[in-house]
Amino acid sequence: MPRAFCRFVLENTPATSMTENQSESEQISNAAASGRAGGLIGKFQTARRRVQEFQKQVSPYQNTINKVRIVLYVIAVPWAIFIAIKSMPYYAAIGKGESYFKQGLYEQAEKEFLFCYEQCKTENVKDPRMVRVLNNLGMVYRGTGRHRLAAPYVKETVEIAQQYFPKRQELPMSLSNEGALLNDLGQYQQAESAYRRAIDTWNANIKKDSDTKLAAIYNGLARSLREQGKFDEAKTAAQKALAIRERETGKDSPECAEVMENLAKILQREGRFDEAQQMLERGLLIDRKAFGEKHPNVASDECTMGRLLMEKGSLREAKLFLEKSLATRQKVFKPGHPTIAKTLSSLGELSLKQGDTSIAKVQLETALAMQTKCWGAQHPDTLETAAALKIASDSRAADSRKAERQAGK
């Protein structure tokens, strides 16, 4: 129908006709609503009659039902109390162990976790407490530089989580710990795969966008991407981790400081030294306030700051940070720990830049021996130290030849 004709029909339709049509429409609508309401009332009445009929049918057995209910209560309540009492030592120990771990008291944490492990061995393998304690033991052994000891615990955790908890957070967190171990071992591509699988599993099943556990996964992913030279992707992952932790733990929390150190390393690799230094200074201030001067997190910040300042050319200031980091790590960890080796290697590179080739050679040789024992000859840290040692050795040999020529004159 042409639009002009439509307008003509509407304009020339009597008002009474329109009103009649509307009232008819309303009547139809009201009738439909009444019909729906009547249908719901009918269904409710039918359901009510069925319940009443069922009650009549079971009424002769009501005394028996009440007796069964009492028996179930008598069994269930003591059983629940028994399970709670039996679990109390586990939960007390796991809480103490995790508190010790955050304080950097790894030996005490290990004792508590081993006690929990012995408690869980007698339980069903499907018990999620076993996954938690295995994860924690893997973290302790990673933190103390015993990566070969950590590996079977991490592997077992992933296997249990895959088999029994594929849609719970145990699986992504186990994969995240596997990624962290692979990062430490210098297997960055495999680590990236583990972290991406953890994120996919989290997004598919957990679906919590603001959870500190998800932030830990993103922060680990950022490290593996950084070490592969994928700086844009690494920065995106680290920024996601930082945003979550700022929302959930506050902007001045140690959890945020951990991500800040990661971001600072990315900025340093991009050559943005001033931005990296500002980020590190903020993180170091937070960690010192939270933990004091002698804590592994503070030592990590100081080592990173020392390496950054060394690359900037501020050698004296860099040396102060590196020496403080070394002193803390030697106090907290046992001899041969990989972080002690890393700090010694950094000091060796610094001594080399300052022209102290003799001191540099000793520092680098000590670090290389530790790293070779801990990581093997092909680990990125071992290769970096070996390259610096070669430069120091070549430089010292050149100095010796020069001294010999001058003595000959």
Instruction: Report the phi/psi class of residue 132: left, alpha or beta, with left for phi > 0 and alpha for psi in -120 to 50.
Output: alpha
pLDDT score of 5: 37
Average of pLDDT values for 254-267? 97
Closest listed residue to residue 147, CA positions, set 378, 384, 338, 370? 338
For residue 331, the tally of other CB atoms under 10 A from its CB is 9
pLDDT tens track for 343-396: 999 999 999 999 999 999 999 999 999 999 999 999 999 999 999 999 999 886
Whole-angstrom distance, CA of residue 308 vs CA of residue 288: 19
pLDDT score of 53: 76
Q: Are 155 and 185 in contact (CB under 8 A)?
A: no
pLDDT score of 30: 53
The residues spanned by each domain of the chain are: 188-291, 292-374+384-397
pLDDT at 22 over 60: no
- The structural architecture, per CATH, of the domain 188-291 is Alpha Horseshoe (1.25)
pLDDT tens track for 124-183: 777 888 889 999 999 999 999 999 999 999 999 999 999 999 999 999 999 999 999 999
pLDDT tens track for 312-323: 999 999 999 999
Do 292-374+384-397 and 188-291 fall under one CATH topology? yes
Percent of the chain with pLDDT over 90: 67
Whole-angstrom distance, CA of residue 319 vs CA of residue 324: 9
Q: CA-CA distances (angstroms) from residue 57 to 8, 47, 49, 68, 70?
A: 70, 15, 12, 18, 21
370 or 209: whose pLDDT is higher?
370
The CATH number of 292-374+384-397 is 1.25.40.10
319 or 61: whose pLDDT is higher?
319
